[in-house]
Amino acid sequence: MPRLKAATTLHVKTDDGGKIHRNERFLLSTADNATREYYVPITYTSSNDTTTFKNTTAKTWLIPDQSLTLRDVLNGSDWIILNNRQSGFYRVDYDNTLWEAIKTQLHENHLVIDVLNRAQLVSDTYNFARSGTNTNYRNWTYAEALDVISYLQYEDNYFPWYAAIVGNNHLLQRIGTVPFETIDNSDQVYSMKQALILSRVCKYGEETCVSKAKELFAQWRDEGVAVPKNLRVTVYCNALRYSDNATTDFNFLWQKYTETNLMTEVITMYAGLGCSQDAESLKWYSLLHRDFTTVWSYVYSSSATGTIAALEYIAENYATLSAA
């Protein structure tokens, strides 16, 4: 019996009650087109009896070059999940019908599915997207993967989140290679995409992005070198968010705000000032500024520090705000 030297992938379809089709070696790169198949121990749990997640003894085996039909397992909107508690060394891809049923269950009550299998679903979808897995059942993209794992908003267990963070690390490595420099405005869509990616990367604290934002801000503050227009939102915000001297940088940007009459620059500076991690500056900013609603929204939505500062500001100035 061949040993599983690399993860194999099973493809499950809802015909005949649940058919397990070809198994193939899972590869992140399609350059290696090895087609070797394996004997795979099959365990599964269906929505008809979720107590069987704990049973990791093989119910049957998938034989190389053969498909396997699980009869009388699925009906209608039922789902099935293979590889109870990740006891086998294989990934599982399902057809669209099954993925939709699994996604529905994850959103309605994810706790019905065993935590290790939830982690498996997260890991498998990320890796299918990363490899660009294309089958007769599904063409995997990151949009597809993120749709599956959107249930994580309800998840508080370590294992699914660990799988998600591992998957996100690869994405961050990829988008971290986006150049942080003056964007080529000859391609407007590309420049918009680049600015969007950089804003996300910096917010997540990616070291190169944060360092570059602080560098460009310092050049503007110390040498008068203006920040490129299409990078100003990202630079202003993240230079203040990660500032080594929060009060000084806040005061500098505030001074620049008072000197400009360009509405686009005013709005950009609104957002940048709201990203500061200096709670006292944020409360002063909210108190002083005539456009309270806009400023307050930037302050409370920028970070946990901003949220706390905004709530403290309301508590401290409730009477004044109520009379306004």
Confidence of residue 218 (pLDDT cuts 50, 70, 90): very high
Beta strand extents in the chain (DSSP E only): 8-13, 19-25, 40-42, 44-46, 60-62, 68-69, 80-82, 90-94
The per-residue pLDDT for 34 is: 52
Select the more confidently predicted residue: 99 or 140.
99
Secondary structure element (H or E) that encloses residue 139, with its range: none
The per-residue pLDDT for 39 is: 86
Tokens in use for 54?
Answer: 């704990």
Query: Residues 304-310: what's their mean pLDDT?
Result: 63
Residue 23 one-letter amino acid: N
- Winning range, highest mean pLDDT, from 174-178, 271-275, 303-307: 271-275
Distances (CA, A) of 278 to 11, 289, 293, 305: 53, 16, 20, 8
Angle at which helices 279-288 and 246-259 cross, to 10° = 20
Angle at which helices 232-241 and 263-274 cross, to 10° = 30
The per-residue pLDDT for 75 is: 74
Does 249 have pLDDT greater than 80? yes
Does 35 have pLDDT greater than 90? no
Select the more confidently predicted residue: 112 or 193.
112
The per-residue pLDDT for 28 is: 41
In whole angstroms, give the CA distance from residue 113 to residue 98.
14
The per-residue pLDDT for 237 is: 92
Query: Residues 220-232: what's their mean pLDDT?
Result: 92
227: number of Cβ within 10 Å: 20
pLDDT tens across 65-106, in order?
788 888 777 776 789 999 999 999 899 999 888 999 999 999
Please, what are the domains in the chain?
Answer: 9-173 (1.10.3480), 176-322 (1.25.50.20)
Query: Residues 218-222: what's their mean pLDDT?
Result: 97
Confidence of residue 294 (pLDDT cuts 50, 70, 90): low
Does 147 have pLDDT greater than 70? yes
